[in-house]
Amino acid sequence: MYTVDYSQNEAQSTHKQLIVLDLNGTLVYRQKRPNGSRVLIPRPGLQDFLDFATKNFAVMVWSSAQPASVLGMLDAGFGEHASQLVRVWDRRFCDLDGDYFGKSSSVKDLRRITDGFNLSHSVNRTAYKSYNGYTGVNTENPGQWQLEDIILIDDSESKAYLQKDNHIFISTFSGQTHDSELGVLQTYLQKYLDNKDSFPHLLDYIKGSSWLDYRKEATRVNDEEIEIEMSD
């Protein structure tokens, strides 16, 4: 069950810019053990990144995993930051090309955030008996966010293809000990904050200052990190 009232956080948020965070492969890695159970490995720098992000932006999570997995990842990886999110969207909020419980590919259409999409609009709204109390949106103010001020941080290009300009494509995390991608991303976003007055919208910064170029030139703990590959 979603126990935090995220819609209250959303209603009270004073930020104009919204960061949408993917979970698996982006912030955490769900490693499969030989016995089939999963152990969650947080990406190095995760707590620092969440400190920074929740202080300076409105932050939501959007994962294509099922609600129980999403909550498991939040519990194990987010700590106190889980209660600061403005929305938590799971697989039911994605556009799927096939069976909900199968291996369908999924798309995160950011227009759903700006257009007041909520759980009642999802074709998969009845996928569970539980998890139904959460609508996934602050219905009091559906026009709170503008596409020009939303970025999606995701390691899958395919999930973001509808709004490529809004996508920060980061390398897939699969449990490496040496990984500085989140630290590099933080300095990239800090540059925006330092020059915020020059940009009417967050997207103006993203378009004018290429993330992919920035990440290539950044100092790394491990040179192999610089290569980036599509995860699917």
Closer Cβ to Mg ion, 193 or 228, answer by number: 228
Q: Which helix (H) or strand (E) holds 59?
A: strand 58-62
Smallest distance from the beta carbon of 56 to Mg ion, in angstroms?
Answer: 23
* CB-CB contact of 64 with 210 (8 Å): no
Nearer of residues 148 and 155 to Mg ion, judged by Cβ: 155
Q: Which stretch binds Mg ion (CB under 5 A): 16-24, 40-48, 122-130, 182-190?
A: 16-24
Q: Is residue 48 classed as helix, strand or coil in its secondary structure?
A: helix
User: With CB under 5 A, what is the number of residues at the site for Mg ion?
Assistant: 5
Least gap, CB of 159 to Mg ion (angstroms): 7
Binds Mg ion by CB under 5 A, chosen from 25, 42, 44, 67? 25
Closest among 128, 129, 163 to 146, alpha carbons compared: 163
In 3-state terms, what secondary structure has residue 89? strand
**90 touching Mg ion, by CB under 5 A:** no
From 155, 168, 202, 203, residue interacting with Mg ion (rule: CB under 5 A) = 155
Residue number with CB closer to Mg ion (42 or 205): 42
Which of the ranges 22-30, 100-108, 175-183, 217-225 carries the binding residues for Mg ion, by CB under 5 A? 22-30
Nearest one of 84, 83, 89, 37 to 63, comparing CA atoms: 89
Say which DSSP state 193 is in: H
Provide the minimum distance between the beta carbon of 172 and Mg ion in the complex, in angstroms, as a whole number: 7
**Chain residue whose CB lies nearest Mg ion:** 25
Measured from the CB atom, the residue of 22 and 90 that comes closer to Mg ion is 22
Nearer to Mg ion among residue 137 and residue 152 (C-beta) = 152
Q: Is 168 helix (H, G, I), strand (E, B) or coil?
A: strand
Comparing CB distances to Mg ion, the nearer of 94 and 202 is 94
CA–CA separation, 129 and 213 (whole Å): 46
Please enumerate in sequence order all residues whose Cβ is within 8 A of that of 20, keeping only pairs 6 or more positions apart, or say none.
60, 61, 62, 108, 110, 113, 150, 151, 152, 153, 154
* Residues making contact with Mg ion (CB under 5 A): 22, 24-26, 155
